[in-house]
Chain A
């Protein structure tokens, strides 16, 4: 007799706060606004989740929490590559799209806030980018 398989889609939201460092009001507002925008973007079909962080806080919302560490590392490396490229080529890189064979990642640097959105390759990342940076 065959066994029934139950597919589950899990969304985990992780809030990390460091109260020892007090962010500026402006930064906090920006972070909150970005979080609100990302929450809406997260509902777009094909979007797999997002990571938003600054020096003091982080929000991670992924449909596949098992890949949290890998996604976080990729986000961090992309942000570093943006910085590195900016210095080496005298550019002010603030956005990045990394396309993989299965998914793609849109990375955006907004001041001290860094965010990454993971999505299927068919999703229009320009449209998503415009929602964050109109």
Chain B
């Protein structure tokens, strides 16, 4: 998402706050570096920048009290609220105490939500190209496709700690229910793959990637029609000719655990935690 669009969205958020709280005279959003991301029309850029610098200094010094969360500077009738969300700060300058609660809620809900949506949109934009490439490669179904797909899965597993934390937060908020897919069992042999790792149709895995984005999925739950179930790791099936055919290749060990065998159907769903 480009900066102009981001500023436009934030400016709208700032204006909405002013509409909801008419006695708020000035509103602006700034970063820890003092950059003004959005401001209302009543405040000059220079004044907002000066205020941001002063407030950032307080924010930095607040490490001694555990790190900055919020601040209110006030007198009998006027106040300056500063709320922090991620690396952004929202400042509200107002004159009405009775609206403080409303403003506070708006600031704590609306702006972080807008910022989160913007961040998610940026993440989505960044990931859009690789995801399209992956789909295109899948459609090619040539010899190179499988190794590329595997590389994509390996990349997905090697998630940075921050991304993993974000993914966890996302999982805790509004993740869709795991899709259930019925797959046909085939045998798999070889020493490269672990005894506890299943190979799954690449198209099914792609659907999970489309559904959950960058959320790390390490395991799947495999359940037989008789109700036997187990969890195991998974990888995409290497052979291109199996792509989209609804096949799961299970090592003998897993088949024994499930008391099932080649040619039987199993229900597979990603473990999303």
Q: Does B113 contact A (CB under 8 A)?
A: no
Chain B binder among A4-12, A18-26, A88-96: A88-96
Of residues 72 through 129 on chain A, the ones whose CB sits less than 8 Å from some CB of chain B are 73-74, 77-78, 80-82, 84-85, 88-89, 91-105, 118
Q: Is the CB–CB distance between A74 and B73 below 8 Å?
A: no
Q: Which residues of B contact A92 (CB under 8 A)?
A: 75, 78
Q: How far is the CB of B141 from chain A (nearest CB, A)?
A: 53
B67-106 vs A, CB cutoff 8 Å, 1 = contact: the mask equals 1111111110010100000000000010000000000000
Q: Which applies to chain B's interface (DSSP): helix, strand, loop or mixed?
A: mixed
Q: Is the CB–CB distance between B65 and A98 below 8 Å?
A: yes
A-side interface size class: 20 to 34
Q: Which residues of B contact A102 (CB under 8 A)?
A: 65-67
Q: Is the CB–CB distance between A85 and B64 below 8 Å?
A: no
Q: Is the CB–CB distance between A85 and B80 below 8 Å?
A: yes
Q: Which residues of B contact A70 (CB under 8 A)?
A: 61, 63-64
Q: Which residues of A contact B26 (CB under 8 A)?
A: 89
Q: Is the CB–CB distance between A93 and B65 below 8 Å?
A: no
When the two chains form the complex, which single residue of A93, A103, A104, A118 contacts B73, counting CB atoms closer than 8 Å?
Answer: A93
Q: Which residues of A contact B74 (CB under 8 A)?
A: 93-96
Most buried by B among A96, A98, A102: A98
Q: Is the CB–CB distance between B51 and A96 below 8 Å?
A: no
Q: Evaluate whether A82 and B65 lie within 8 angstroms (CB atoms) in the complex, with A77-B58, A88-B50 already known.
A: no
Q: How far is the CB of A120 from chain B (nearest CB, A)?
A: 10
Q: Evaluate whether A104 and B65 lie within 8 angstroms (CB atoms) in the complex, with A84-B50, A89-B93, A98-B71 already known.
A: yes
Q: Is the CB–CB distance between B62 and A81 below 8 Å?
A: no
Q: Is the CB–CB distance between A97 and B71 below 8 Å?
A: yes
Q: How far is the CB of A23 from chain B (nearest CB, A)?
A: 25
Q: Is the CB–CB distance between B58 and A81 below 8 Å?
A: yes
When the two chains form the complex, which single residue of B55, B58, B66, B78 contacts A103, counting CB atoms closer than 8 Å?
Answer: B66
Q: Does A31 contact B (CB under 8 A)?
A: no
Q: Is the CB–CB distance between A85 and B73 below 8 Å?
A: yes
Q: Does B121 contact A (CB under 8 A)?
A: no
In the complex the two chains form, what is the Cα distance from A19 to B25 in whole Å?
45
Q: Which residues of A contact B68 (CB under 8 A)?
A: 98, 100
In the complex the two chains form, what is the Cα distance from A100 to B64 in whole Å?
8
Q: How far is the CB of B122 from chain A (nearest CB, A)?
A: 26
Q: Does A3 contact B (CB under 8 A)?
A: no
The 6 A-B residue pairs whose C-beta atoms are closest, nearest first, are A102-B66, A100-B65, A101-B66, A70-B64, A84-B54, A103-B65
23 pairs across A/B with beta carbons < 8 Å? A70-B63, A71-B64, A77-B58, A80-B54, A82-B73, A85-B51, A85-B54, A85-B73, A85-B80, A89-B78, A89-B93, A93-B78, A94-B74, A95-B74, A96-B73, A98-B58, A99-B65, A100-B62, A101-B67, A101-B69, A102-B65, A102-B66, A103-B66
